[in-house]
Structure 1
Amino acid sequence: MKELVTKWNSISLVKRIIAGLIIGIILGMVVPQFSVIGLLGQLFVGALKAVAPILVFFLVSGALCQHKEGKKTNMKTVVVLYLLGTFLAGTVAVIASFLFPVELTLTAGVEDVSAPSGVGEVLKTLFMNIVSNPIDAIANANYIGILSWAVLLGIALRKAGDGTKKAITDISDAISQCVRWIISCAPFGVMGLVFTTISEQGIDALLSYGHLILVLVGSMLFVALVVNPLITYIGIRKNPYPLVFKCLKDSGITAFFTRSSAANIPVNMNLCKELGLDKDTYSVSIPLGATINMGGAAVTISILALAATHTLGISVDFPTAIILCVLSAVSACGASGVAGGSLLLVPLACSLFGISNDLAMQVVGVGFIVGVIQDSCETALNSSTDVLYTAVAELSGRRKAQKQK
């Protein structure tokens, strides 16, 4: 049995998910009456629902409490670039969702959703969720409350002892490992989810996923090839594409296959060293970027959340869309550095529109179905921009210093 598990884990997760996808389609068409197969999808989504709240809490608080004061680095500029890039990526995704609206096939509960009456109600819900009891927030999967209390706790723990910080980091790492174990079961979950969709809705239901993939990947390509070069040019004031393409080639390609920003940290460290960047900066900015620089995650969160609103017939006005851009940027900063981490934060954005956690987790399930392509592209964008923004911050600082001389 141990040998079988070892062989299973040695196969690429992408290949296993593709296999699960194909098997789910075949079983849904051939034996649609075997509804027990769909239980695998329900178990997979249930496990994600259970681990997601506590993962977000410890991941965000653990990342913030590790910040050390007094170091003379370009970190302020790097953090500004991280947040700006993530916000712009979310904005691109929102615009793409309005231009090319996507509708999904959800299995239940659609009739129970009521749209918010306006931006006032949205803001009231948002602020009341922020001040929700932290224990209740975790128990009830109130992701906005979880995020707000995690940020406060992380900042408050900056002056805590190293032992306390290490304990929080160890808990965060342990929960992340649990997520990895759950995601390693994604092929079976995807098989169950696809089986349920095919057996209940038919093969035509999968056509919307092709549209979803095009919008997701197209938005990420626009960010990588238009938005990021524009930010780079403003910083270094010369042709940005040699630096952009080097980061995509040396960091993005490996991240595409590892599908983990955390796993790609050593690759990014070596690339920063090759570019001649300051070690005091990139030794902090690269691990930090694996947690808070999540442009690709902001794209995924925004597009899937708006796909849910389009599916449920919820009208989204411009002020609410702006709030979503900000919310997707903030929530993306809490995305886990493991494969599929951003999908666990989609319910946070969905809650902005009054969409229940159960329906939001069905959207997460759809995300895992398209995740073979989406998550690889997302991680490639996230990880490559860790190096890109670190380089832009330092090269921009050098340019300003030379001007002063």
Structure 2
Amino acid sequence: MDSTSRPSLFQRYMNGSLVLQIIIGIVCGIAIASFSPSAAQSAGLLGSLFVKALKAIAPLLVFVLVMASIANHKQNEQTFIKPVLVLYLIGTLLASLTAVMASFAFPTSLSLVTSDISQAAPKGVSEVLTTLLYNMVDNPVNALVNGNYIGILTWAVGLGLGLRHASEATKALLQNMADSVTTVVGFVIRLAPFGIFGLVANTIATTGFEALLGYSHLLTVLIGAMLVIALVTNPLLVFLATKKNPYPLVFKCLKESGITAFFTRSSAANIPVNMALCKRLKLDEDTYSVSIPLGATINMAGAAITITVLTLAAVNTLGISVDFPTAVLLSVIAAVSACGSSGVAGGSLLLIPLACSLFNIPNEVAMQVVAVGFIVGVLQDSAETALNSSTDVLFTAAACKRAAGK
């Protein structure tokens, strides 16, 4: 074969398996952290740049995608958004209930530590709801700058509805903008192996494996509950919706969406991956173009598990007696609160004091639990994002297949 027709090294990289490249990045990160910690900490710059790029482009992606999809929706075309939303709600509630049962079956105690975390945590359900309402009417530019996804979603829906009466040329321009932003995000995600290499190298060089070993029981309960949702509860919901073996679809979503979300740790940044998967699954485009960005904002089963498990761990540590009905109430509050936790660094963790207030746990103690959450966040946040993002595709596919009778 002529050498001029051979793909370049860059082309081979861009067309290669992202999962395999990420695994190579992890192995290289562990290796450099083991042999040269100073070099590993320097490599952390790659991880910081990768995370910053994701955080920068993700809000714009959600805004443009939702606005363009609603503006281009044909008046007489049916979508399956309602059943998707029902699945989102039921899935999040079941996730928090599963977390309650896991916490009762395997009670966890924490070595509470002092913390200098300065973020203000909500102290009541009314405060959470008020904050959500204020976030909805936030200045759209401010919402984009600060990653306020509730505000971004609200303005995108409003502008999308208004632009449904625009000219076809305007709608085509919006779609071209959406495609362009998606392409940029796709390129950033293709750089994930380098970013993950830097993140892994820096994390291990800075904290070592010992930082996680001390919280192994807590991590086991957290990740175990998420695995139950991913491999038992979600498949059951999909079976009830489609009346077919759900596991081929479940494993496909976990492999093609969950793995990349695990390493990018951003549901919003994983939207192009999910959209591409929905297209390969031949789902209804008018449905998934809305349900996927929407799911990245409100479908928060993993966050509900995190809030519930860490709160009940604090309760157990302090020796507070909790009956099952009270714990169920906690799970409902966790599910509702989790819907407003996206788009904020450690958003689900900062809602822990709200849940702790149910048991009259002082805010100072609750913030110590938040500090523990940040320590285990290296794995917890990755698993949480993988569950949330893969479930967005799974439930969208289930609703579309049910409606189509496939």
| TM-score, normalised with respect to structure 1 | 0.69
Cα distance, 1:265 vs. partner? 3.7
Cα distance, 1:13 vs. partner? 0.9
Partner of 1:202: 208
Equivalent pair of 2:147/2:343 in contact (CA under 8 Å)? no
| Aligned partner of 2:231 among 218, 221, 230 | 221
Q: Is 1:18 aligned to 2:1, yes or no?
A: no
In 2, Cα distance between the equivalents of 1:50 and 1:312?
34
| Aligned partner of 1:93 among 78, 95, 102 | 95
Are the structure 2 counterparts of residues 253 and 119 from structure 1 closer, same or farther at C-alpha, using a change threshold of 3 Å? closer
Are the structure 2 counterparts of residues 49 and 381 from structure 1 closer, same or farther at C-alpha, using a change threshold of 3 Å? closer
Partner of 1:106: none
Partner of 2:162: 156
Partner of 1:263: 276
Are the structure 2 counterparts of residues 369 and 127 from structure 1 closer, same or farther at C-alpha, using a change threshold of 3 Å? closer
Q: Is 1:36 aligned to 2:49, yes or no?
A: no
Are the structure 2 counterparts of residues 344 and 294 from structure 1 closer, same or farther at C-alpha, using a change threshold of 3 Å? closer
Equivalent pair of 2:310/2:352 in contact (CA under 8 Å)? no
Amino acid in structure 1 at the alignment position of 2:232: F
Q: Which stretch of the first structure deviates more once superposed, 188-197 or 298-307?
A: 298-307
Q: Which runs of 5+ in 1 are unaligned?
A: 104-108, 233-239, 273-281, 332-342, 397-405
| Aligned partner of 2:199 among 193, 200, 215 | 193
Aligned residues: 346
Secondary structure of 2:275's aligned partner:
coil
In 2, Cα distance between the equivalents of 1:41 and 1:118?
36
Equivalent pair of 1:344/1:364 in contact (CA under 8 Å)? no
Amino acid in structure 2 at the alignment position of 1:57: F
Pairwise CA RMSD of aligned residues? 4.3
In 2, Cα distance between the equivalents of 1:91 and 1:144?
20
Equivalent pair of 1:119/1:319 in contact (CA under 8 Å)? no
In 2, Cα distance between the equivalents of 1:307 and 1:121?
22
Secondary structure of 1:116's aligned partner:
coil
In 2, Cα distance between the equivalents of 1:117 and 1:330?
14
Cα distance, 1:46 vs. partner? 1.1
Amino acid in structure 2 at the alignment position of 1:27: I
Partner of 1:277: none
Partner of 1:391: 401
Are the structure 2 counterparts of residues 139 and 323 from structure 1 closer, same or farther at C-alpha, using a change threshold of 3 Å? farther
Cα distance, 1:48 vs. partner? 1.4
For residues 121-142 of structure 1, the C-alpha deviation after alignment (integer angstroms, 9 at most, x for no partner) is 2222222222211111112222
1:232-381 correspondence to structure 2 within 5 Å:
232=242, 240=243, 243-245=244-246, 248-249=247-248, 251-259=249-257, 260-269=273-282, 282=284, 284-285=286-287, 289-292=291-294, 298-303=300-305, 322=332, 325-326=335-336, 366=378, 370=382, 375=386, 381=391
In 1, Cα distance between the equivalents of 2:233 and 2:296?
12
For residues 74-120 of structure 1, the C-alpha deviation after alignment (integer angstroms, 9 at most, x for no partner) is x3xx32211001112222333344555799xxxxx852233322223
Q: Which stretch of the first structure deviates more once superposed, 223-232 or 186-195?
A: 223-232
Partner of 1:3: 8
Cα distance, 1:57 vs. partner? 1.2
For residues 182-222 of structure 1, the C-alpha deviation after alignment (integer angstroms, 9 at most, x for no partner) is 11111122222222221221113355566654433321223
Amino acid in structure 2 at the alignment position of 1:195: A
In 2, Cα distance between the equivalents of 1:306 and 1:20?
33
Q: Which stretch of the first structure deviates more once superposed, 255-264 or 147-156?
A: 255-264
Are the structure 2 counterparts of residues 124 and 318 from structure 1 closer, same or farther at C-alpha, using a change threshold of 3 Å? farther
In 1, Cα distance between the equivalents of 2:224 and 2:334?
21
Partner of 1:279: none
Equivalent pair of 1:56/1:147 in contact (CA under 8 Å)? yes
| Aligned partner of 1:80 among 72, 79, 82 | 82
| TM-score, normalised with respect to structure 2 | 0.68
Equivalent pair of 2:135/2:148 in contact (CA under 8 Å)? yes
Cα distance, 1:307 vs. partner? 8.0
Partner of 1:112: 118
Are the structure 2 counterparts of residues 353 and 90 from structure 1 closer, same or farther at C-alpha, using a change threshold of 3 Å? same
Cα distance, 1:14 vs. partner? 0.9
In 2, Cα distance between the equivalents of 1:383 and 1:154?
22
Identity of aligned residues (%): 28
In 1, Cα distance between the equivalents of 2:122 and 2:232?
31
Q: Which stretch of the first structure deviates more once superposed, 190-199 or 284-293?
A: 284-293
In 1, Cα distance between the equivalents of 2:288 and 2:121?
40
Are the structure 2 counterparts of residues 131 and 140 from structure 1 closer, same or farther at C-alpha, using a change threshold of 3 Å? same
Q: Which runs of 5+ in 2 are unaligned?
A: 1-6, 110-114, 258-272, 316-325, 355-370
Equivalent pair of 1:190/1:365 in contact (CA under 8 Å)? no
Partner of 1:338: none
For residues 252-275 of structure 1, the C-alpha deviation after alignment (integer angstroms, 9 at most, x for no partner) is 555454433322345433xx7xxx
Cα distance, 1:286 vs. partner? 5.5
For residues 24-51 of structure 1, the C-alpha deviation after alignment (integer angstroms, 9 at most, x for no partner) is 2222232222321111111111111211
Secondary structure of 2:8's aligned partner:
helix
Amino acid in structure 2 at the alignment position of 1:178: V
